[in-house]
Structure formats: C-alpha cells, structure tokens
C-alpha cells in the first residue's frame, strides 16, 4: 500500500515537472529566438558583437510594439564554437521551451550542424556571418536561410573592384582550408571572366594560424603584383600586414574583412592599413539615409557604433521579423513560405531572399581605409561605392542546391 503511494507520488511529480515548461510558456507569451554564438573562448569577442546586434534588433522591435503583438525574447546560446554543443543546447530549447527560431554568425561548422537540426526538428535557422558558400549550395534545405553574404559574393565583388581599378597583376593568398580555397577559386573565376588581361602572379596558401609570414611575403614581393587579394581574417590578416609591411610589401591589400575594428586595433599602426580596401554587406559608412538614421539611433541608445558584425546581425534579425510579420503567425511552414521572395529595405540597401536556395541577394559595399573618420581613434573605413546584388549573383542552377 505504502509502495503504491510512493509510486503514485513519483508519477504525479513527473507529470507536474513535464507540464511545468508548458505553464511557463503560457504564462509569458513571447516569440523566442535562440542566438548561437561563441560566448566563451578565443572567438568570444566576435560572438558577443553579433549577439549585441541581434539583441538590439529585438529591442527595436519591442519598442515599436513587438512582433504580432508579442515581445521578441532573445535566448543566448553559448555554442563554444562546437557544432555538437550548439545543437545539444538548441535541441533542448526546442523540446523543452518550444523555441522555433535560431540564428548565429560564427563558424560555418556550427551553422552546417544547426542547418541539419533545423530540418530534422522543423524549426528555422538563419545566419548572417557563416559564409561558406556550400550552406546555401549542396547542403541547403528549406529550414535554413542566409540573410547575409557568402564567399562567392565577396570574391566576385572584390574581383570586380580590382578589374574596375584596372590593376593588371594580382597576388592572392589565403588560409589553406575550405574557406580560403573557395574564396580564391571564386575570385579567380570572376576575374578570368571580366578581366582576362589581369594576371594572377602569385597564388599562395598557408596554414591557418601561421606565425612567420616572411617566406610568403618574400614570394609576393618577388612576383611584383600591383595589388594583393586575401580572404584572411583575424590574426592571419594582422600578421600578414604586421610582418609584410616592414619587408616592403607596399601594395594595397583587398580583403574580405578589412574594416574589422579589432584587427585594426591589434595592428595599432595605421599606416599599415591606410589604402586597403574591402567589400562587406554591412559597414558603418554606407552612405544612405536609412543607414545614417540607424547608426545615429544605435549610437544614441548604446553609446558606441554598430560596427559591421553588429550591423549584420541587426539587419538579418529585422529581416526575419519582417518574414514573421508577413506570415502573420509563428508557424514554421508559414514563415518559410513568407520569407521566400521577400525583400527588406534596410540600412544596407534592399535584401531579397531567393526562394531557390534561401540565399539573400544583397549588394556589397566597398570601403577603403582612410586615416581619419569620426567613428574610431584609428584609421577606419570610408565608402567607395558598391557592387549591386545583381552583379554578384550566382545563378540558381550553379549553386548546387536542390531544395526539397
């Protein structure tokens, strides 16, 4: 008798515990979005800047009455930059709290794992910073969106810029893994198409995290290029310039992420940076009324500027909110349908979500590093025109994506 009572009590407790999250959800009716970023470890500073942008988007939405009459609630997920950690945490949020929307910007490996999880659990994952082209290419699925850039777009835009500036000899250097190889392949392809007379005089690959760039820089110098193109980022960009400039590597460097304020600060030597150029989907210096208004409001609210990572996460999150608004419901299938073909006219121009591969078609904004701007104590970016979304478009048939 007593035993039965204990069993019964246990059973009741379990039922109660299972029901509890449901009560919690019902009590606090919000639209939850899980932001997966590395919030600890080496890449923490990148993850935190992305998170800041996504949280600011939620703040702006909530200030103006929320989404579908509900508040947007950002749930921070520390991915630790590990695919298994990110998916485990996301899985429990899906099952326990019924979270239907996820986003993130750091680590294409994390993104690819989240992409699979999204399909399996029928939730939506979107990214604004995971750039590997394959995620909206061969790995694409209907639950994954990229309101952001890709290696293809960036390389095309920079190849066009170099062709437009009539440089004849280019040295290209990249980290020796899929990201760097894809970036250089796309660059070479575009350059051969639009400016067959421009020669690649050196093509170098180095391990990510190389310490001594001397032997690479010497080869660049010997090849006598007019300019240098590299998709390098972080320390690999810093050291290329830090060690290359004193060796007489004077050429302009065209790089994916030249306007990263942390890289510029880590160099702490502005003359190594001035004159370098980049192409980015969002930069502080985009000369449009919408962007100026956004930057001014952000600065007023926060006391600092929405530099590139923050801006990208902000715009992508606002774009997602537009899709939810258009769907009129948080039903996943309805939001997917609403987002396909939708355009969002934000601070970085018009972004259009293509239905065939869920890759947003976005313009790329050129920047050049100049000695003085109002934004930063170091040399920083100034606007230098843009490449239209149309000009960097990869045709649907060439992406390798077969949307189910």
In this structure, the number of other CB atoms found within 10 A of the CB of residue 249 comes to: 21
For other proteins, which is the closer residue by CB, 122 or 268? 268
Token couple for 194: 């639009």
Q: Does 219 bind other proteins (CB under 8 A)?
A: yes
Q: Which of residues 18-47 bind other proteins (CB under 8 A)?
A: 41-42, 44-45
Token couple for 359: 């890759």
Instruction: Provide the mask over 236-265, with x wherever binding to other proteins is found by CB under 8 A and - wherever it is not.
Output: --xx--xx--xxx-------------x--x
Largest separation between any pair of C-alpha atoms in the chain: 91
Q: How far is the CB of 383 from other proteins (least distance, A)?
A: 26
CB burial of 213-245 (b: ≥16 within 10 Å; e: otherwise) equals beebbeebbebebbbbbbbbbbbbbbbbbbbbb
Q: Does 221 bind other proteins (CB under 8 A)?
A: yes
Instruction: Provide the mask over 157-186, with x wherever binding to other proteins is found by CB under 8 A and - wherever it is not.
Output: -------------------x----------
Measured distance CA(287)–CA(294) in Å, rounded: 12
Q: Near other proteins by CB under 8 A, which window of 124-132, 198-206, 277-285, 294-302?
A: 198-206
Q: How far is the CB of 258 from other proteins (least distance, A)?
A: 16
Q: Does 215 bind other proteins (CB under 8 A)?
A: yes
Measured distance CA(40)–CA(70) in Å, rounded: 31
Measured distance CA(280)–CA(155) in Å, rounded: 10
Sheet of 360-361, strand order:
343-346, 349-353, 360-361
Measured distance CA(387)–CA(385) in Å, rounded: 7
Q: Does 204 bind other proteins (CB under 8 A)?
A: yes
For other proteins, which is the closer residue by CB, 210 or 373? 210
Measured distance CA(384)–CA(381) in Å, rounded: 9
Token couple for 128: 């604004």
Strand, helix or coil at 225?
coil
For other proteins, which is the closer residue by CB, 140 or 240? 240
Q: Near other proteins by CB under 8 A, which window of 12-20, 57-65, 111-119, 233-241?
A: 233-241
- C-alpha to C-alpha distances, 40 to 47, 88, 209, nearest whole angstrom: 8, 17, 19
Q: Near other proteins by CB under 8 A, which window of 22-30, 60-68, 235-243, 383-391?
A: 235-243
Q: How far is the CB of 87 from other proteins (least distance, A)?
A: 24
Binder to other proteins among 92, 268, 329, 343 (CB under 8 A)?
268
Binder to other proteins among 214, 328, 341, 385 (CB under 8 A)?
214
Binder to other proteins among 269, 270, 292, 393 (CB under 8 A)?
269
CB-based contact 379:264 (threshold 8 Å) = yes
Q: Does 82 bind other proteins (CB under 8 A)?
A: no
Q: Does 201 bind other proteins (CB under 8 A)?
A: no
Q: How far is the CB of 216 from other proteins (least distance, A)?
A: 6
Sequence-distant (6+) residues with CB within 8 A of 42 are 81
- DSSP annotation string for 299-316: HHHHSS---HHHHHHHHH
For other proteins, which is the closer residue by CB, 215 or 341? 215
Q: Does 222 bind other proteins (CB under 8 A)?
A: yes
Q: How far is the CB of 179 from other proteins (least distance, A)?
A: 17
Place of tokens 């843009």: 386
For other proteins, which is the closer residue by CB, 97 or 270? 270
Helical ranges in 328-374 per DSSP H:
332-339
Q: Does 352 bind other proteins (CB under 8 A)?
A: no
- C-alpha to C-alpha distances, 172 to 160, 274, 329, nearest whole angstrom: 15, 19, 48
Q: How far is the CB of 43 from other proteins (least distance, A)?
A: 9
Interface residues toward other proteins, by CB under 8 A: 41-42, 44-45, 176, 204-207, 209, 211-212, 214-216, 218-219, 221-222, 234-235, 238-239, 242-243, 246-248, 262, 265-269
């Amino acid at each position: 008798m007593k035993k039965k009572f204990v069993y019964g009590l246990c059973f009741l407790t379990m039922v109660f515990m299972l029901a509890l999250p449901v009560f919690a959800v019902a009590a606090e009716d919000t639209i939850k979005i899980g932001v997966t970023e590395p919030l600890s470890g080496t890449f923490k500073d990148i993850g935190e800047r992305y998170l800041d942008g996504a949280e600011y988007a939620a703040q702006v939405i909530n200030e103006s009455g929320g989404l579908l009459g509900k508040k947007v609630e950002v749930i921070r997920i520390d991915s630790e930059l590990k695919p298994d950690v990110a998916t485990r945490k996301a899985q429990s949020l899906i099952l326990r709290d019924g979270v239907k929307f996820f986003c993130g910007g750091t680590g294409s490996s994390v993104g690819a794992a989240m992409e699979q999880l999204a399909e399996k659990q029928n939730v939506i994952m979107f990214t604004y910073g995971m750039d590997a082209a394959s995620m909206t290419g061969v790995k694409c699925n209907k639950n994954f969106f990229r309101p952001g850039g890709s290696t293809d777009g960036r390389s095309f835009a920079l190849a066009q810029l170099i062709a437009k500036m009539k440089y004849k000899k280019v040295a290209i250097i990249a980290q020796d893994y899929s990201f760097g190889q894809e970036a250089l392949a796309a660059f070479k392809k575009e350059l051969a198409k639009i400016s067959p007379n421009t020669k690649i005089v050196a093509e170098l690959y180095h391990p990510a995290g190389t310490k001594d760039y001397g032997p690479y820089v010497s080869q660049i110098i010997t090849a006598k290029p007019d300019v240098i193109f590299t998709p390098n980022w972080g320390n690999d960009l810093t050291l290329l310039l830090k060690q290359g400039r004193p060796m007489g590597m004077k050429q302009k460097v065209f790089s994916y992420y030249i306007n990263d304020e942390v890289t510029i600060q880590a160099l702490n030597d502005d003359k190594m940076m001035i004159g370098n150029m980049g192409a980015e989907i969002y930069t502080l210096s985009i000369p449009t009324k919408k962007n100026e208004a956004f930057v001014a409001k952000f600065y007023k609210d926060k006391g600092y500027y929405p530099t590139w990572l923050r801006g990208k996460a902000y715009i992508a999150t606002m774009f997602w909110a537009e899709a939810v608004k258009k769907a009129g419901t948080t039903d996943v299938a309805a939001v997917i349908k609403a987002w396909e073909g939708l355009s969002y006219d934000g601070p970085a121009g018009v972004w259009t979500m293509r239905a065939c591969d869920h890759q947003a078609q976005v313009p790329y904004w050129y920047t050049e590093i100049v000695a003085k701007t109002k934004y930063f104590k170091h040399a920083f970016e100034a606007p230098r025109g843009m490449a239209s979304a149309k000009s960097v478009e990869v045709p649907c048939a060439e992406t390798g994506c077969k949307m189910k």
